[in-house]
Amino acid sequence: MTKKIIIEPVTRVEGHGKVTILLDEAGQVSQARLHIVEFRGFERFIQGRPYWEIPVLVQRLCGICPVSHHLAAAKAMDGIVGVDKLTPPAEKIRRLMHYGQMFQSHALHFFHLVSPDLLFGFDADPLERNVIGVARKFPYLAVQGVMMRKYGQEIIKATAGKKIHGTGAVPGGVNKNLSIEERDGFLKDIDQMLAWCRASLQIAKDYTLEHIEELADFGSFDSNHVSLVRADGAMDLYHGNLRAITATGEKIFDQIDYQSYFKYIAEEVKPWSYMKFPFISSLGPENGWYRVGPLARINACDFIDTPEAEAARKDFLSITDGKPNNITMAYHWARMIELLHAGEKIRELLNDLDLQGTDLMAKGERRGESVGLIEAPRGTLFHHYKVDENDQVTMANLIVSTTSNNTPMNLAVEGVAKKYLSGAEITEGLLNRVEVAIRAYDPCLSCATHAMGQMPLVIELEDAAGNTLDRRVRD
């Protein structure tokens, strides 16, 4: 008789999800599924809206990284208005907005959502293992987390007009530059921010190396990795071409113009989830699934063009002899390398006088179809639109980062369940570890189904006949 374990809701991730663990007749884990139980349908209801509204409209998918949707849509709409190259001030303002976003999102995830697990251990009392517990026991870290998030949010406000759901990027450019006063306000604090980035990176690195034996077998598996990279192979979070590599670093495709992403990436639908399952077309759904996000980006790029993050990248890859790192929990270390990179990029941009430029808009010849890609905090984000001669959207396809990580998250949960499930009961230890594995991907489940709501977790354990053997809820 097969059995099923269900964990619902999953906590400290963005959105609402449910985990089901299926047991076979022998009581062994046969499969784990992370269900996304909400549905929103943005792709449908933006049809008919004017194209210039989309960057502002579609960012309402999410309150955590709306800037990513804002910019991905704006990049697509640049194509619709026939602009392939923005003016230098416009591109740099957008980049600053994006690095501000990356900075605040990574800080939020690390300090507010993940640090309780790393600081207190997976088995610590949930009453202590939360952000309030961190604030009590490690007040300096809690302050750092809050201040770093604030810094990123203020950059977003200065470039987009609001901390959440701004209007800065418009098709063909931006609607404002950065004033000298705003710039000086950020420059004043940048050294402190970079110092905190280094300290955060150290925590993530030390944690990973201290627990490397355990983590190597904690929801880890070999996978392909997909990311945008610059033409010279450098990490570029705002713009680049698509690269896919295997678990050992061989290139599957490279320097693909993302306007034709659909020739290389396909999506599969499964009946038990609203979230689709993307895969690399040439490898098929069985073998073509891949990971995106910090781990994939560090693995896929040839180098990072800021010195401290580049040194950290080499350090990171040294434990795998320069080959891609496939340890799920190494996402946190990779994420902190990116946090430092974002900080370095912000400093570089703040010292660039183009940010005070006034040439903010470019023009071109109108097109009917365009794709915008960006490396969002959680990974590659795809926006694809068709617009008719009346300027109204007729088709939209969004592949968000969490969707790309769908299969990997399922495998991570399955791996953890196989290792830690004993009997037909959901123990506290199992619940904790399933959540920790999912959290490594920083999933934004609202976004992934284009859905809404808080993210509590439910886990259910089900037998072969579909009977629920056990159920635990955490919210």
Partner 1 sequence: MNDTFKITIDGKEIEARQGQTIMDAADAAGIYIPRLCSHPDLKPIGSCRVCTVVVDGRPQAACVKPVMDGMVIENDTPAVLQHRRNIIDMMFVEGNHFCMFCEKSGNCELQALAYRFGITAPQYPFQFPEKEVDGSHPDILLDHNRCIMCARCVRASQELDGKNVFQSIGRGFHRKIGVNGEKELGDTDMAVSDRATEICPVGCIIKKRVGYEVPIGQRIYDKAPIGSDIEEVHP
Which positions touch partner 1 (CB under 8 A)? 48-50, 52-53, 55-57, 60, 81, 160-162, 165-168, 170-171, 175-176, 388, 390-392
Number of CB atoms found within 10 A of residue 213's CB: 8
Check: CB of residue 345 under 8 Å from CB of residue 336.
no
Instruction: Work out the end-to-end distance of the chain between its first and last CA atoms, rounded to an integer number of angstroms.
Output: 31
Task: CB nearer to partner 1: give 46 or 409.
Answer: 46
Q: How far is the CB of 389 from partner 1 (least distance, A)?
A: 9
The 393-399 sheet, strands edge to edge: 369-376, 379-387, 393-399
- Mode of pairing for the β-strands spanning 379-387 and 393-399: antiparallel
Nearest residue (CB) to partner 1, 158 versus 349: 158
Nearest distance from residue 168's CB to partner 1, in Å?
Answer: 7
Single-letter amino acid, residue 391: D
| Distance of closest approach, residue 390 Cβ to partner 1, in angstroms | 3
Cα 280–chain centre separation: 19
Distance CA 387, CA 49 (A): 9
Question: Phi and psi dihedrals of 410, rounded to 5?
Answer: -60, -40
C-alpha angle 359-364-366 in degrees, rounded to nearest 5: 140
CB of 360 to partner 1, least distance (A): 9
In whole angstroms, the minimum distance from the beta carbon of 153 to partner 1 comes to 14
CA dist 415 and 227 (Å) reads 24
To partner 1, the closest distance from the beta carbon of 91 in angstroms equals 17
- Residue 101 vs 130, nearer CB to partner 1: 101
Shortest CB 59 distance to partner 1, Å:
8
Give the residue with the Cβ less far from partner 1, 394 or 454. 394
Cis? peptide before 89, omega within 30° of 0: no
Q: Which is nearer to partner 1, 125 or 388 (CB)?
A: 388
Q: 3-state class of 322 per DSSP?
A: coil
Q: Secondary structure of 1-33 in the HEC alphabet?
A: CCEEEEEEECCCCECCEEEEEEECCCCCEEEEE
Indicate the residue type of 320: T
Nearer to partner 1, 49 or 471 (CB): 49
Look up residue 177 and give its two tokens: 């530059």
Comparing CB distances to partner 1, the nearer of 279 and 385 is 385
CB of 47 to partner 1, least distance (A): 10
177 versus 405: smaller Cβ distance to partner 1: 177
